[in-house]
């Protein structure tokens, strides 16, 4: 286990994360193991962000349209080390993508169902730190806060 503040070499650090997911074929909840592999990719706002590849790949396989992927990328890039809770005006997001508010609401709901984001209150969301950690954010602290939100 990595303690808070301990430095680790993320290129060689791996662990298994167990998540409860919905089996689409049976409709039942099941435990699924995800191998946590950290890679780095550019974030438009501030430098780089840590991405957990297995969960990212799983998410991308479930986002069916280019619009869903583009909306997710905009949502993801809105979070920073100092801004872990972000307010989204779905009407404005719809305008940004030349779409409709119901379509954007459906995409946000899908992102919530896929556990990429967590809806906190009206229009306010938090990004899943087991999928992405914004540049210079304290990943362990974000993951502890996430666990408190989802339990």
> What CATH number should be reported for the domain holding residue 50?
1.10.10.10
Within a domain: residue 93?
A: yes
Within a domain: residue 64?
A: yes
Domain that holds residue 119: 14-150
Domain count for the chain, please give it: 1
What is the pLDDT, as a whole number, of residue 36? 62
What is the pLDDT, as a whole number, of residue 135? 79
The model's pLDDT over 91-143, given as tens digits with 9 standing for 90+, comes to: 999 999 999 999 999 999 999 999 899 999 999 999 988 888 887 888 888 88
What is the pLDDT, as a whole number, of residue 117? 92
**Burial class (CB within 10 angstroms; exposed 0-12, middle 13-18, buried 19+) of 29:** exposed
Within a domain: residue 29?
A: yes
Would you place residue 150 in the very low, low, confident or very high pLDDT band (cuts 50, 70, 90)?
A: confident
Within a domain: residue 5?
A: no
User: Token pair for residue 64?
Assistant: 């069916």
Mean pLDDT of the chain: 79
Within a domain: residue 139?
A: yes
Give yes or no for a contact between 149 and 117, defined as CB atoms under 8 angstroms apart: no
Mean pLDDT of 137-150: 86
What is the pLDDT, as a whole number, of residue 49? 62
pLDDT at 12 over 50: no
Within a domain: residue 3?
A: no
φ, ψ at 80 (rounded to 5°): -135, 175
Mean pLDDT of 20-35: 79
Within a domain: residue 9?
A: no
Between the CA of residue 67 and those of 12, 54, 137, what are the distances in Å? Answer: 34, 22, 28
What is the pLDDT, as a whole number, of residue 78? 87
pTM tops 0.85, yes or no: no
Within a domain: residue 7?
A: no
């Amino acid at each position: 286990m990595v303690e808070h503040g301990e430095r680790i070499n993320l290129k060689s650090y791996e662990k298994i994360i167990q998540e409860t997911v919905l089996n689409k074929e049976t409709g039942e909840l099941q435990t699924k193991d995800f191998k946590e592999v950290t890679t780095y990719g550019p974030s438009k706002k501030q430098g780089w962000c840590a991405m957990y590849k297995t969960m990212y790949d799983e998410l991308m396989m479930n986002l069916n349209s280019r619009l869903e992927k583009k909306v997710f990328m905009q949502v993801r890039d809105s979070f920073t080390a100092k801004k872990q809770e972000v307010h989204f005006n779905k009407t404005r997001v719809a305008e940004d993508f030349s779409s409709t508010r119901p379509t954007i609401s459906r995409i946000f709901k899908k992102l919530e169902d896929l556990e990429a984001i967590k809806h906190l209150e009206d229009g306010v969301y938090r990004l899943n730190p087991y999928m992405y950690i914004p540049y210079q954010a304290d990943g362990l602290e974000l993951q502890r806060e996430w666990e408190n939100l989802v339990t």
